[in-house]
């Protein structure tokens, strides 16, 4: 598997407390997500990235890896700004729009965040509504909540996940409540 005129593509998957997580590498991470991996061969670079993901879910540092964007110039600007947020930080869609000097484009920023092809490494889970709620996430609000908890130093995800998954309206839970005792 390869992309004409570019690096060979490597694909790999690792088990996490949030389910299988896959990475597609072509000289940088070009796609990732929770779910089954696309077809492809695993190589040394993708294995290195997957080890960083495993370390993160075991309570280690947030995985900083090279990523390559392939969106529109606007989407790329949104994703680049997201990449500059630190673990544990959260920002609203309006704050993100302001960071790219497009304060009037909050809805477009939200659409770009939703199209992020490299979740976790481009941490769209850190974007929350300005009213303090958790909000939605393409892989489910329970995964967003778990990632935020993990970045807040709460490493007992295995115990928390059943309650997060069962919550009837987790997207509406206030982050302060989620982080206060770790249960929604």
**DSSP string of 86-151, one letter each residue:** PTT--EEHHHHHHHTT-TT-HHHHHHHHHT-SSTTTS-GGGEE-TTSB----TT-HHHHHHHHHHH
CA distance 177 to 184: 7
Could you tell me if residue 112 is left (phi over 0), alpha (psi between -120 and 50 degrees) or otherwise beta? alpha
114 annotated active-site: no
In the block, tokens 């900083």 appear at 64
Q: Residue 96 has which token pair?
A: 């993100």
Secondary structure of residue 99 in the 3-state scheme: helix
DSSP 130-141: TTSB----TT-H
Q: How many residues in the chain? A: 184
Catalytic residue, chosen from 67, 122, 124, 148, is 124
Residue 17 near residue 158 (C-beta atoms within 8 A): yes
Catalytic residues: 124
């Amino acid at each position: 598997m390869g992309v004409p005129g570019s690096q060979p593509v490597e694909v790999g998957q690792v088990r996490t407390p949030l389910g299988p997580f896959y990475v597609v590498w072509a000289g940088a991470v070009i796609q990732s997500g929770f779910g089954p991996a696309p077809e492809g061969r695993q190589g040394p670079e993708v294995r290195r990235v997957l080890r960083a993901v495993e370390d993160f879910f075991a309570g280690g540092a947030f995985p900083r890896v090279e990523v390559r964007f392939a969106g529109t110039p606007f989407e790329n600007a949104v994703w680049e700004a997201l990449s500059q947020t630190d673990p544990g930080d959260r920002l609203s869609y309006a704050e993100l729009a302001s960071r790219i000097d497009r304060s009037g484009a909050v809805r477009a920023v939200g659409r770009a965040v939703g199209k992020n092809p490299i979740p976790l490494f481009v941490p769209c889970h850190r974007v929350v509504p300005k009213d303090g709620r958790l909000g939605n996430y393409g892989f489910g609000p329970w995964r967003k909540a778990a990632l935020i908890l993990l970045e807040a130093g709460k490493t007992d995800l295995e115990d928390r996940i059943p309650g997060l998954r069962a919550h009837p309206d987790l997207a509406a839970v206030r982050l302060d409540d989620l982080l206060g005792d770790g249960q929604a």
